[in-house]
Structures are given as structure tokens and as C-alpha cells.
Amino acid sequence: MSSVARLLTAQLWANPGGAWQSFVGNELHFAGNAAVYYGMSNTFFLVKVLAVLNLASGGLSWLNGLYLALGAFVGGWAAAQALAGAWSRWPVGVGLVAFLGWPSVIWFGSGVNKETALLATGAGVFALFITLVYGSQGPNSKRIGYKFWVRVVAMLALAVLHFKLRYFFAAPLLALLGGLALLRGLQKAGLFRPRWAQVLLLLGWLWAGAWVAAEFSVAFRPNKFTNQLALIYARHLRASTNRPHFEYPELRPTPASIAQHAPLAAFNALARPWLGETQGRLFYVAGALESSVLIILLVVALASVWRKPSEQMPFALQLTLGLHCLILAVLLGLSTPNLGSLARYRTVMLPFLLLMLLPPVVEAANLRKKTAAVL
């Protein structure tokens, strides 16, 4: 990607008209070189981003990686600040750990790769959304001196970038945030206050969004989408020979088969790799340790919420993040049997998952401390 980006930057200087055609299209032809990508290629879109960054980095890949990592840091910091400012009971450290302190997020959130750019844009969209929809009311808040419409435009611009970088990652998040904004507006009018009503509204919104998307783009039609998932799975499986991976022998490119495999796929996305399948490789051992911690956090969080539902975050936002993580976990678990790729791809989901898992764990730990102090 860096090599093609340098070629595109050179074309920008030598032939701006030709470079414009490259930027708005899917092909690059310059100086006897050619690069052809399919429509909506997220790889070629990142090439275009890198070509623009080359104007400030002189084409140095390590400097582009630094710029992207800085973007991920700023987005994560803004998200942590927005969460801390929205609710007085929100544990400030949770946002910092989720976006900036989790080991795999730090590792894959730096350098020239799509995950870094996705973390930057996704966190930025989320930060602006929280500030716009929930405001800044808590004692930890800091007043942001930008006009409302400037924030809206910035959020929409980041949403477009996020979608272009990897649309099947971005579509669930952006759709669910749109539904949450609608729900928030209806709640201010006194509607959809019961939790069951909020669940029905968001599920209905998702169904309507999927129907509209299928009408506008063939890529989102059920048969096309499931066929694409199966093709990606098969491609990853062929590339995983002699590498740690899992398989779905009975997976077929049909909606029924995808639905049948969805629960196992979601589990695989969170729990794999595990320690028994690392083949002694350090990278997979680290991934297995992370999976173990995620499972422990999930169990503790569910047990804590079962005893007492968490009130540190509005239920509608918890539901939104939960649906987003569930959809991504199913998509990742179905399309990525290679455990190394899976550990990298799920990095984009982890901050939002941790925003759900960590508050109940922190609340339970604080309760135990208070109980011990009283006794």
C-alpha cells in the first residue's frame, strides 16, 4: 500500500488531472505502472489516504505510521473524555483503558494498517456522537469550544472515512448510532422509555436499514452478502495451511447456514485463539491470553449485571454497543478462520466491547471494597 501510495503522490505532482481520476476511481495508471482494484476497495482507499499523508511525510512509511497512530490516540482520548463528561457516575479510567490502554489495541493501533485508521475514525465518530447526543454534564467534563454544526460536520466526515476504510465494520456502528440518535430524540418527547420498547425500536431500525441498503446496493442483498462471507472464509482458510485456524465444514453460502453458524462464530471471535492451539508461537500465546481475559471479564460482567444492572451508562447505549459487538463478532467469526488475522481484525471491536464489560467489573470491585470496609 505504501508503494502504490508513493506512486499516487508522484502522479499528483506530475499530472494532477490524472491523479484526480485515480482518487475518484479504482485504477491507478502512471509512469508505466498500473494498479487496479475492485469497486469500494478499502485497500485502495487507504492508499489514497497514505498518498495525501505523503505530502507531509515525504513518503516515509514510519512517519505515516506515526500520523495514523496519533490519529488513533486523539480519537481514543476524545472518546474517553466524552464518556467521562457525559455521566457523573462513569468510571473515568474505563474509557482510557478501552481506547488507549488495552495491549492489542495499542499494538495494532499504531503503524500503517487499516486497523489504526479504523480505530482513529471510529473513536472520533463515537466521541462526537456522545457529546452531541448526551451532552457534557458530569464533574469530569471539559467544555469543548466548537459550534454544534462544526461537530456535526466533523462527525459526518469521519463517518464517511470510517465507512470507506472497511464498510462492513462501519455499517453496523453507523446504523446503530443513527438509531440511537432517533431513540434519544423520542425519549426526550417521553416515548420509548421501557427497555423492551428500546430493544424493539433498535432491532426494527436495523431491519429497516438492512432492507434499504439491499435496495440501493447489490452488495447488501442477503444472497450476495452471505456468498461474499463464504468466499472470504474460503480464501482465509486456503491461506491458513500449517497455521492455527478453525473450520466450519458444513458452512454454506446461504442465509440459513450463516444463521446456524452465527452463535459459534461469535464465540470464536471472542474466545480464539486459546492456549491449547498456539503452537508455542509468542504472537498466538499473547492472543490466547487476551482471549482468556476477555472471557473472564465477560463472565464477571454478566454475573454482576445479573445481580444488579449497571447504571453507569444508559441502557440504550449499552444495547447499541452490545448489538454492534455481536454483529461484528458474528461477521469476524464467520469470515476469518485464521487466528492471527482474527486477533488483528477484532481490535476495532474491542474498545466498544470493553466499554460494556469493564464498568460492571469496576462496580463489583468497588462494592466488595465497601463491604470489606464495613465488615
What is the DSSP secondary-structure string of 205-222? HHHHHHHHHHHH-GGGSH
The residues pairing with 29 across neighbouring beta strands, listed in sequence order, are 34
Amino acid 367: pLDDT: 59
In the chain, the DSSP E strands lie at 27-30, 33-36
Amino acid 375: pLDDT: 54
Looking at residues 110-132, what average pLDDT do you find?
A: 95
Q: Are residues 152 and 224 in the same domain?
A: no
pLDDT in tens, 274-292: 888 777 788 888 989 999 9
Closest-CA residue to 197 (of 170, 213, 179)? 179
Residue 112: is its pLDDT beyond 70? Answer: yes
Question: Considering 20, 36, 57, which residue would you say is the last residue of a domain?
Answer: 57
Question: Cell numbers of 280, please?
Answer: 508455542
Q: Are residues 310 and 224 in the same domain?
A: yes
Do residues 273 and 266 lie in contact, with contact meaning Cβ atoms separated by under 8 Å?
no
| Rg (alpha carbons) of the chain, rounded to whole number | 22
Question: Cell numbers of 73, please?
Answer: 490516540
Domain limits for position 141: 60-165
Q: Are residues 49 and 67 in the same domain?
A: no
Residue 142: is its pLDDT beyond 50? Answer: no
Question: Considering 100, 130, 165, which residue would you say is the last residue of a domain?
Answer: 165
Amino acid 352: pLDDT: 97
- What are the two backbone dihedrals, phi and then psi, of residue 87, each rounded to the nearest 5 degrees? -135, 135
Residue 25: is its pLDDT beyond 50? Answer: yes
CB burial class (10 A; 0-12, 13-18, 19+) of residue 39?
A: exposed
Residue 361: is its pLDDT beyond 90? Answer: no
Q: Are residues 72 and 215 in the same domain?
A: no
Question: Cell numbers of 333, please?
Answer: 467469526
Residue 67 lies in a domain: yes
Looking at residues 184-207, what average pLDDT do you find?
A: 93
Find the range with the poorest average confidence among 80-84, 141-145, 174-178, 295-299. Answer: 141-145
Strands 33-36 and 27-30: antiparallel
Q: Are residues 51 and 200 in the same domain?
A: no
Do residues 43 and 118 lie in contact, with contact meaning Cβ atoms separated by under 8 Å?
no
The residues pairing with 36 across neighbouring beta strands, listed in sequence order, are 27
Residue 177 lies in a domain: no
Residue 178 lies in a domain: no
Q: What is the spatial distance between Cα 204 and Cα 143, in angstroms, rounded to a whole number?
A: 35
Q: What is the spatial distance between Cα 196 and Cα 263, in angstroms, rounded to a whole number?
A: 23
Q: Are residues 8 and 132 in the same domain?
A: no
Amino acid 290: pLDDT: 93
Angle value at C-alpha 58, between 57 and 60, nearest 5 degrees: 70
Q: What is the spatial distance between Cα 235 and Cα 165, in angstroms, rounded to a whole number?
A: 20
Find the range with the poorest average confidence among 28-42, 149-163, 174-188. Answer: 28-42
Angle value at C-alpha 101, between 327 and 77, nearest 5 degrees: 85
Percent of the chain scoring above 90 in pLDDT: 65
pTM of the model: 0.92
* Band (146; pLDDT cuts 50, 70, 90): low
Residue 90: is its pLDDT beyond 90? Answer: no
Residue 227: is its pLDDT beyond 80? Answer: yes
The type of residue at 27 is E
* Band (324; pLDDT cuts 50, 70, 90): very high
Amino acid 14: pLDDT: 94
Amino acid 153: pLDDT: 93
Residue 8: is its pLDDT beyond 90? Answer: yes
Q: Are residues 30 and 139 in the same domain?
A: no
Q: Are residues 50 and 80 in the same domain?
A: no
How much is the mean pLDDT over the chain?
89
* Band (360; pLDDT cuts 50, 70, 90): confident
3-state secondary structure of 59: coil
Q: Are residues 326 and 344 in the same domain?
A: yes
Of 155 and 372, the one with more pLDDT = 155
* Band (138; pLDDT cuts 50, 70, 90): very low
3-state secondary structure of 242: coil
Q: What is the spatial distance between Cα 102 and Cα 96, in angstroms, rounded to a whole number?
A: 9
Contacts of 256-265 with C-beta under 8 Å, sequence gap 24+, read 257/226, 258/226, 258/229, 258/334, 261/334, 262/330, 262/334, 264/333, 265/329, 265/330, 265/331, 265/332, 265/333, 265/334
Residue 173 lies in a domain: no
Residue 150 lies in a domain: yes
Residue 143: is its pLDDT beyond 60? Answer: no
Residue 258 lies in a domain: yes
For 287, how many CA atoms within 13 A lie in the half-sphere containing its CB?
Answer: 29
Q: Are residues 79 and 48 in the same domain?
A: no
How many domains does the chain contain in total?
3
Q: Are residues 81 and 37 in the same domain?
A: no
Most confident of 74-78, 226-230, 313-317: 74-78
Q: Are residues 211 and 358 in the same domain?
A: yes
Of 69 and 225, the one with more pLDDT = 69
Of 93 and 372, the one with more pLDDT = 93
Question: DSSP of 61-106, one letter per residue?
Answer: HHHHHHHHHHHHHHHHHHHHHHHHHH-TTS-HHHHHIIIII-HHHH
Angle value at C-alpha 330, between 329 and 332, nearest 5 degrees: 65
Residue 206: is its pLDDT beyond 50? Answer: yes
Residue 175 lies in a domain: no
Q: What is the spatial distance between Cα 240 and Cα 341, in angstroms, rounded to a whole number?
A: 10
| 273 upstream amide cis, omega within 30 of 0 | yes
Of 276 and 152, the one with more pLDDT = 152
Looking at residues 97-118, what average pLDDT do you find?
A: 93
Residue 216 lies in a domain: yes
